[in-house]
Structure 1
Amino acid sequence: MTTVKYAAEIVKELNRTVDLITEEETEVLVDRILEAKKVFVAGAGRSGFMAKSFVMRLMHMGFNAYVVGETVTPSLEKDDILIIASGSGETKSLVSMAEKAKNLDATVAVVTISPDSTIGKLSDLAIKIPAKPKAGEDSEYKTIQPMGSLFEQTLLLLFDAVILRVMNKKGLESGVMYGRHANLE
């Protein structure tokens, strides 16, 4: 198969996966983001990269949005939301964050393959991305891609769709966001 044909197959997989995401769950996430004082996002590995891109867009819209673990990240408080991106929902460092956030009475949301995971059970909201787990487990969701690629790509698309929905609900245009874009590059 050629590179372009691989890309076309990846797009087909993404379409199938996005069609299976529950609209009601994503709308709740949008509303929780709009209600929060601060938005914190965490993820490990490639999921963490997707989470960082989401925080960047939230910042462009004027939200107090932070990546957990950065030196400029403030304290999480009661009226805040922690959004965790974790395919397995079992990453130890992320489980620990979810537990701490619950103890602080913050809202916890997870975007995951496994809503019944440890993080899923700790969360106030779990959005399922129906994708194949990284390794070991059989899955009804098939992919030609290695490891967690389908989850991570869908995560980026979902986060970008959440941004568009938040923009829509706040009546924001893209042009306004450019004023907050980095200018020291």
Structure 2
Amino acid sequence: MKFNDYYPAVLKEIEETLGEIDETIISNFALQILDAPRIFIAGVGRTGLVMRCFAMRLMHLGIEVQILGDITTTAVSRNDLLLIGSGSGETDSLLSLAKKANNIGVHILLVSIDPDSSIGKLAQECLKIPAPSPKLTHKQEMTSIQPMGSLFEQSLLLTLDCLAGLLMHKKGMDSESLFMYHANLE
């Protein structure tokens, strides 16, 4: 297969996946993010990198956000919000974090392929991204021409970027006003 044949197929997969995103849950996520005193972000691997991108956008929106695992991360408190990205919803380290957060009274949101996963059962709400994953053992709704979890990771990035755009509009901000939060020591 050639690049010019491959990328349109990849874009079609992403478009089909994003077309299945539940608008109501996205709206709920936006409201919960705006209502939370602080946001904590968690994810590992490539998904973790995407979650870090979203944390950066939240910071640009003037929202207090921290990435779990960073050395400057503070303690969580009851009513804080933990947003977890996990394709399978079964990642051991994230499941452990979710259990601890649940015991503290932290509000948990999950973005995953599998809302019925172990982390999904601990979360107050789960946004499903219907992409395939080699980690899931049950029958999956779709297949992908891409390697491993690429479709989930790409769809996660675009979904969270769209969510950041919705938050920007809800806060009455624009790209110019976000720039005041951009790093100035580079």
In the alignment, is residue 174 of structure 1 matched against residue 175 of structure 2? yes
Deviation at 1:5, TM superposition (A): 2.1
- Aligned partner of 1:90 in structure 2 is 90
Tell me the CA shift for residue 140 of structure 1: 2.4
Q: What letter corresponds to residue 144 of structure 1 in structure 2?
A: I
Q: Which runs of 5+ in 2 are unaligned?
A: none
For residues 59-117 of structure 1, what are the alpha-carbon distances to aligned partners after superposition, in whole Å with 9 as ceiling and x for unaligned? 01111111100011111111210000000000010001111111111100000001000
1:58 Cα offset (Å): 0.3
Q: Report the counterpart of residue 145 of structure 1 in structure 2.
A: 146
> Which letter does structure 2 place at the counterpart of 1:151?
F
> What residue in structure 1 maps to residue 14 of structure 2?
14
How many residue pairs get aligned? The number is 185
Q: Secondary structure at the match of 2:126?
A: strand
CA distance in 1, matches of 2:101, 2:136: 30
Change (3 A) 1:116 1:49: same
Aligned: 1:162 with 2:163: yes
Q: Where does residue 109 of structure 1 map in the other structure?
A: 109
Instruction: State the identity %.
Output: 43
Q: CA deviation at 1:4?
A: 2.6
RMSD across aligned positions (CA): 1.1
Deviation per residue, 1:104-150 (Å, 9 max, x gap)? 11100000001000000000011100011125644221210010000
Give the alignment's TM-score, normalised by structure 2.
0.96
User: Is the Cα–Cα contact under 8 Å of residues 115 and 127 in structure 2 kept in the other structure?
Assistant: yes
Letter in 2 for 1:148: G
Q: Which moved more, 1:134-143 or 1:88-97?
A: 134-143
Amino acid in structure 2 at the alignment position of 1:152: E
Offset, 1:24? 0.8
Amino acid at match of 1:150: L
- The answer to whether residue 27 in structure 2 is matched with residue 55 in structure 1 is no
Cα separation, 2, equivalents of 1:168 and 1:4:
35
d(CA) in 2 for partners of 1:107, 1:171: 25
Q: Structure 1: which amino acid aligns with 2:184?
A: N
Kindly state the Cα deviation for residue 57 of structure 1 after the two structures are TM-superposed: 0.5
Q: Residue 110 of structure 1: SS of its match in structure 2?
A: strand
Measured in 1, the distance between the counterparts of 2:51 and 2:122 equals 19
Matches within 5 A, 1:43-82: 43-82=43-82
- Aligned to 1:179, the other structure's residue is in SS state helix
Give the counterpart letter for 1:56 in structure 2: M
Post-superposition CA distance 1:18-75 (Å, at most 9, x none)? 0111111111111100000111110010000000000000001111111100011111
Instruction: Specify whether residues 136 and 35 from structure 1 end up closer, same or farther in structure 2 by C-alpha distance, changes over 3 A only.
Output: closer
